[in-house]
Amino acid sequence: MSSRPATAPVSAGGSALLPRHVAIIMDGNGRWAKKRHLPRIAGHRQGVEAVRRVTRAARAMGIEALTLYAFSSENWRRPEDEVSDLMGLLRLFIRTDIDEMVRENVRLRVIGDYRRFSPDLVALVEDAIARTAANDGPILVIALNYGAQAEIAAAARRLAEKARDGTIDPAMIDEAAIEAELDTSDLPPLDLLIRTSGEIRLSNFLLWQAAYAELLFVDTLWPDFDAATFADAVAAFSSRQRRFGGL
């Protein structure tokens, strides 16, 4: 995976260049519900609808990979009933949407330590991954129990083990060697990272991959994010000049 991404082919409109890989920190479900005097689970349910809208919009635009921050390694600190609700929504999303992924040639990928989840949910996730593994169309990446610092630390451990075993020379460990050990090693380089709800931080998400990504922070709460909002974000990306440290 190169840290200097190439843009995708021209868009359907024929001019603006598309990002190949877009990632989204889906923030604001709780605030959306609070504004409407609803329980937080209502915001999460509407957030799932936003996932459907945006994944379909990305597919229609020709985005190669879309990565969604669904459950961070820090989300375990939330109340137990909210974590349980999130797990239930994940189950429902996979069960109701997997047939569409298969039909639309979408390949599902998961990054993060999802095996910490309950055995039935792990089996459901792995079955969905297996059912779409042969697809060669757009990639939908779900980050589950994911934390970027843990990802980088795990990559460092694997490289240290290889150096200890003599399979690599420590002097040859460079950026490319580290990238090859990351969860995202088989994905296009990250071009655009979006965070919704007005917060301006990365929250331990794709820290290495975001080194030269374009960052976009929008005020829209995630349940209100739709195809038009996504198109606006892609248009903002297309208007920027990317120099990767050059002139």
Is residue 119, in this structure, part of any structural domain at all? yes
* Residue linked to tokens 């921050």: 69
Candidates 75, 85, 135, 204; catalytic one = 75
**In this predicted structure, what is the pLDDT of residue 244?**
72
Residues of the chain scoring pLDDT < 50? 1-15
Count Cβ atoms below 10 Å from residue 126 Cβ, excluding itself: 13
Catalytic site residue 27?
A: yes
201 labelled ligand-binding: yes
Nearest 10 degrees: Cα torsion 45, 221, 148, 9: 100
74 labelled ligand-binding: yes
**In this predicted structure, what is the pLDDT of residue 12?**
38
40 labelled ligand-binding: yes
Tokens, residue 142: 């779900």
* Integer Cα distance of 151 and 141 in angstroms: 15
**In this predicted structure, what is the pLDDT of residue 16?**
57
**In this predicted structure, what is the pLDDT of residue 226?**
97
Is residue 154, in this structure, part of any structural domain at all? no
* Integer Cα distance of 113 and 234 in angstroms: 30
**In this predicted structure, what is the pLDDT of residue 165?**
97
Cα distances (angstroms) measured from residue 47 to each of 14, 26, 104, 118, 193: 31, 8, 22, 22, 18
**In this predicted structure, what is the pLDDT of residue 8?**
46
How many domains are there within the chain?
1
Residue-number span of the structural domain to which 230 is assigned? 21-144+185-238
Catalytic site residue 105?
A: no
**In this predicted structure, what is the pLDDT of residue 115?**
94
CATH no. for residue 27?
Answer: 3.40.1180.10
Is residue 177, in this structure, part of any structural domain at all? no
**In this predicted structure, what is the pLDDT of residue 114?**
95
Rg (CA), the chain: 18
* Residue linked to tokens 């957030």: 47
44 labelled ligand-binding: yes
Tokens, residue 44: 């999460």
Is residue 215, in this structure, part of any structural domain at all? yes
* Integer Cα distance of 187 and 20 in angstroms: 10
**In this predicted structure, what is the pLDDT of residue 243?**
74
